[in-house]
């Protein structure tokens, strides 16, 4: 059984403290253990990063970018192995893991533009014989705390941009799926990243709290559930840190009467049940405008769901793999039980699905509810599983009001052929990421990812242009070299 440790100062560290089992969710068996860093280990990683910072901040951005070019090549060369590690510990199907990795690689590609992104601004003769310019200077030591559901992509949202901006990073991935990110960190060092610039510590709340409380950590990036995101944001701010904490979601799709229903159903099937629903951008609520559209939608979804194939992620013929743990599977089942008890119509019931070759795997089939009401728990809360709820309304305005009233504002979309309706929707909906006939409007790497309301705590979104702003401080310099021999008196008015 493998033991997964830490990488600090470019060296593999095997600790002596607590460990946790790492499961293959398809088989339900523990296939390794991960070491959980104690406070001393995390502080050691912070010290190493702090020591590496002076040399790294003075490394030319072009040299930092060249490391990212080599790193990108290595990710592509070893993509199959990375995806196998993702699948074996998360459960998602291999081709889904490949899609995740590709999105991460696109963020590395964006990071290679560091010389352009960090150029700053310059104004000659901003005043008489006065020049002014701004610089983007790195923060120092920054922390990245990442979730289990995208063990490759989300870390690649964070640390590549942090390091090309001149920072040094302590990365704490999810202890449930630690192997892929560990291998990726090894590839980063193979690409030429100096020792101490990127450090990996596995751990739980003790490690997180150490990162949040240590004064040497200047900024924290986080992705996870809303309660933990709020805690990270509050605790980090209390200790004087810059924090971006991305939380949960309840993403709605409005289905208009004029929607291309066949394509809409296909889009919703993938968006709701891909990765077994364990995505913060998954569509979990379909709001059908009018009973005619609702009836077509529900019957079409029911028919399409009958062909969804659930099984081990190693088999690319499957559409869905298992959920991450048995505990989480039972939690999702309880949500379905609650929906039935509250009066929603369970059209497709996947609670008792079993996979014969893996009877102990954490599998659950897709579920579809109709006649869901906003007061129901299955509507209010993020389920993070393969459960799609259909809500019926009479008008687009009612559909939009549902979305705007919800506490989350991560992603949303509308299916329609009406350009006026689409334009009105995108302009007035209170959600951070919007799709028009696009069910998963995840921005490309050269934009930024972030929701509104209780889906994002902090002022700046993840990756893209916001990453440069988050991982740097702007410094503005005003400089004057007066002509020799010029004598000037004191100026007591404010300079203008």
Residue-wise pLDDT for 96-131, tens only, equals 999 999 999 999 999 999 999 999 899 999 888 899
Query: How does the average pLDDT of the chain come out, rounded?
Result: 96
Query: Are 185 and 273 in the same domain?
Result: no
Query: Are 255 and 243 in the same domain?
Result: no
Query: Are 231 and 299 in the same domain?
Result: no
The answer as to whether 73 is a domain residue is yes
Token pair for 74: 């290595």
What is the residue range of 419's domain? 251-436
The CB density around residue 479, as the number of other CB atoms within 10 Å, is 10
Q: Using CA atoms in the order 350, 356, 360, 364, what is the torsion angle rounded to 10 degrees?
A: -10
Query: Are 124 and 184 in the same domain?
Result: yes
Cβ atoms of 168 and 52 within 8 Å: the answer is yes
The answer as to whether 379 is a domain residue is yes
Q: What global pTM score does this model have?
A: 0.95
Query: CA-CA distance, 322 to 311, in Å (whole number)?
Result: 7
Query: Are 241 and 260 in the same domain?
Result: no
Helix (H, G, I), strand (E, B) or coil at 163: helix
* Strands ordered across the beta sheet of 433-436: 345-348, 367-370, 387-393, 283-289, 251-255, 411-415, 433-436
**48 has a pLDDT exceeding 80:** yes
With pLDDT > 90 as the criterion, what percentage of the chain qualifies?
93
Query: CA-CA distance, 384 to 323, in Å (whole number)?
Result: 9
* Strands ordered across the beta sheet of 456-457: 11-13, 6-8, 198-200, 168-172, 141-145, 217-223, 242-246, 456-457
The answer as to whether 115 is a domain residue is yes
Q: Please, which pLDDT band fits residue 484 given cuts at 50, 70 and 90?
A: confident
**57 has a pLDDT exceeding 90:** yes
Q: What angle do CA 255, 256, 262 make, to 5 degrees?
A: 65
Structure confidence at residue 418 (pLDDT): 97
The answer as to whether 447 is a domain residue is no
Query: Are 163 and 196 in the same domain?
Result: yes
Kindly report the CATH number assigned to the domain that includes residue 236. Answer: 3.40.605.10
Q: Can 280 be counted among the known catalytic residues?
A: yes
Under 8 Å CB-to-CB from 105, ≥6 apart: which residues? 72, 75, 76, 156
Kindly report the CATH number assigned to the domain that includes residue 345. Answer: 3.40.309.10
Query: Are 272 and 412 in the same domain?
Result: yes
**225 has a pLDDT exceeding 90:** yes
Per the DSSP assignment, residues forming a β-bridge with 433 are 411
Query: Are 20 and 80 in the same domain?
Result: yes
Catalytic entry in 83, 165, 276, 280: 280
The answer as to whether 188 is a domain residue is yes
Structure confidence at residue 17 (pLDDT): 84
Of 405, 436, 467, the position where a domain reaches its end is: 436
Query: CA-CA distance, 120 to 133, in Å (whole number)?
Result: 7
The answer as to whether 441 is a domain residue is no
The answer as to whether 398 is a domain residue is yes
Structure confidence at residue 2 (pLDDT): 85
Query: Are 120 and 29 in the same domain?
Result: yes
- Tens digit of each residue's pLDDT (9 = 90 or more) over 161-172: 999 999 999 999
Token pair for 447: 């934009």
Cβ atoms of 485 and 473 within 8 Å: the answer is no
Query: Are 149 and 176 in the same domain?
Result: yes
Structure confidence at residue 24 (pLDDT): 97
Query: Are 236 and 256 in the same domain?
Result: no
Q: Please, which pLDDT band fits residue 250 given cuts at 50, 70 and 90?
A: very high
Count of domains observed in the chain: 2
Place of tokens 């921005």: 443
- DSSP letter at 194 equals P
Q: Please, which pLDDT band fits residue 494 given cuts at 50, 70 and 90?
A: confident
**294 has a pLDDT exceeding 90:** yes
Query: Are 472 and 367 in the same domain?
Result: no
Q: Please, which pLDDT band fits residue 493 given cuts at 50, 70 and 90?
A: confident
Q: Using CA atoms in the order 76, 82, 83, 86, what is the torsion angle rounded to 10 degrees?
A: -150
**16 has a pLDDT exceeding 80:** no
The answer as to whether 492 is a domain residue is no
């Amino acid at each position: 059984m493998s033991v997964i440790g830490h990488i600090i100062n470019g060296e593999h560290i095997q600790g002596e403290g607590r460990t946790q089992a790492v499961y293959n969710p398809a088989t339900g068996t523990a296939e390794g253990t991960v070491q959980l860093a104690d406070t001393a280990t995390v502080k050691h990683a912070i010290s190493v990063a702090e020591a590496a910072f002076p040399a790294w901040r003075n490394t030319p951005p072009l040299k930092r970018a060249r490391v990212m070019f080599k790193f990108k090549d290595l990710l592509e060369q070893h993509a199959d192995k990375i995806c196998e590690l993702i699948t074996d510990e998360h459960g998602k199907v291999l081709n889904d893991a490949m899609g995740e990795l590709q999105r991460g690689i696109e963020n590395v590609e964006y990071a290679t533009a560091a010389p352009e992104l960090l150029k700053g601004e310059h104004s000659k003769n901003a005043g008489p014989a006065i020049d002014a310019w701004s610089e983007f200077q790195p923060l120092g030591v920054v922390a990245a705390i990442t979730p289990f559901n995208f063990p490759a992509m989300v870390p690649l949202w964070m640390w590549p941009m942090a390091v090309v901006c001149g920072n040094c990073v302590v990365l704490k991935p999810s202890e449930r799926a630690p192997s892929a990110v560990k291998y990726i960190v090894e590839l980063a060092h193979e690409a030429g990243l100096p020792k101490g610039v990127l450090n990996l510590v596995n751990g739980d709340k003790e490690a997180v709290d150490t990162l949040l409380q240590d004064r040497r950590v200047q900024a924290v990036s986080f992705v996870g559930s809303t309660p933990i995101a709020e805690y990270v944001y509050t605790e980090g701010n209390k200790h004087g840190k810059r924090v971006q904490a991305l939380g949960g979601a309840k993403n709605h799709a409005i289905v208009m009467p004029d929607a291309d229903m066949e394509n809409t159903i296909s889009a919703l099937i993938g968006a709701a049940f891909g990765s077994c629903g364990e995505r913060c951008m998954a569509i979990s609520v379909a709001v059908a405008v009018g009973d005619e559209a609702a009836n077509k939608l529900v019957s079409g979804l029911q028919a399409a769901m009958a062909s969804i194939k659930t099984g081990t992620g190693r088999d690319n013929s499957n559409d869905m793999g298992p959920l991450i743990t048995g505990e989480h599977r039972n939690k999702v089942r309880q949500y379905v039980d609650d929906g039935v008890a509250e009066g929603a119509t369970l059209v497709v019931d996947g609670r008792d699905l079993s996979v014969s070759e893996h009877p102990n795997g954490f599998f659950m089939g897709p579920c579809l509810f109709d006649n869901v009401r906003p007061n129901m728990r299955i509507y209010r809360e993020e389920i993070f599983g393969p459960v799609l709820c259909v809500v019926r309304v009479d008008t687009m305005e009612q559909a939009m009001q549902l979305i705007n009233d919800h506490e989350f504002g991560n992603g949303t979309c509308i299916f329609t052929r009406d350009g006026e309706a689409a334009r009105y929707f995108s302009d007035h909906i209170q959600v951070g990421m919007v799709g028009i006939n696009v069910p998963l409007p995840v921005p490309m790497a050269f934009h930024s990812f972030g929701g509104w309301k209780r889906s994002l705590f902090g002022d700046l979104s993840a990756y893209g242009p916001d990453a440069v702003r988050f991982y740097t401080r702007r410094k503005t310099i005003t400089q004057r070299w007066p002509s020799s021999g010029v004598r000037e008196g004191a100026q007591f008015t404010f300079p203008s």
